[in-house]
């Protein structure tokens, strides 16, 4: 599957990531909606849980796989910056930060108002900001290795540490 993904353009990979994240969000929403009105002692039947959690798992695997292919393509400079300019601009828009902040604040308020019953719904509210930050990180241009700027002598001292205090 990864070899097929490597032939795609960045916009196509981002569509795969977005659709996979949407599918996992919808599965979480389904579980939340069905379990919200159940009495405390009742659980969701397995006929609902298994397909929902399979959908969540498969969509997250697909999303992470597409993100890894995207990151490797960007790091190895497979695509020119002109193909990546539009998605980078979209994800660095100030509206993304506002939406992320509002959703995190909404999650905190939800946890304060309904501490135990709101965990799945809070998870749903946190999925979008976390997914957007993961995708934004995937689109970052390759940077220099932070260890490459440190002189090798600072990383590996010339002689091993020696102490005359041991063994006396």
pLDDT band at 92 (very low <50, low <70, confident <90, very high): confident
CA-closest candidate to residue 52, choices 21, 22, 31: 31
What pLDDT score was predicted for residue 120? 67
What pLDDT score was predicted for residue 2? 61
What pLDDT score was predicted for residue 151? 62
Q: Using an 8 Å Cβ cutoff, are 132 and 100 in contact?
A: yes
What pLDDT score was predicted for residue 75? 84
What pLDDT score was predicted for residue 61? 92
What pLDDT score was predicted for residue 54? 93
What pLDDT score was predicted for residue 156? 65
Query: What is the reported pTM?
Result: 0.71
Residue 17: count of CB within 10 angstroms of its CB: 23
pLDDT in tens, 122-164: 777 787 788 888 888 888 877 655 555 666 665 566 666 677 7
What pLDDT score was predicted for residue 117? 63
């Amino acid at each position: 599957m990864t070899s097929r993904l490597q032939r795609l353009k960045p916009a196509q990979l981002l569509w795969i990531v977005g659709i996979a994240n949407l599918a996992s969000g919808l599965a979480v929403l389904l579980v939340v909606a069905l379990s919200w009105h159940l009495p405390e002692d009742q659980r969701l039947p397995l006929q609902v849980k298994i397909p929902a959690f399979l959908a969540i798992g498969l969509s997250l695997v697909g999303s992470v796989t597409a993100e890894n292919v995207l990151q490797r393509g960007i790091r190895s400079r497979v695509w020119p910056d002109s193909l990546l300019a539009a998605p980078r601009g979209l994800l660095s828009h100030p509206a993304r930060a506002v939406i992320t902040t509002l959703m995190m604040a909404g999650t905190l308020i939800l946890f304060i108002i309904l501490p135990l019953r709101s965990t799945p719904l809070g998870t749903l509210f946190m999925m979008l900001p976390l997914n957007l930050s993961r995708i934004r990180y995937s689109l970052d241009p390759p940077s220099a290795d932070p260890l490459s700027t440190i002189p090798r002598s600072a990383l590996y001292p010339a002689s091993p540490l020696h102490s005359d205090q041991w063994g006396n």
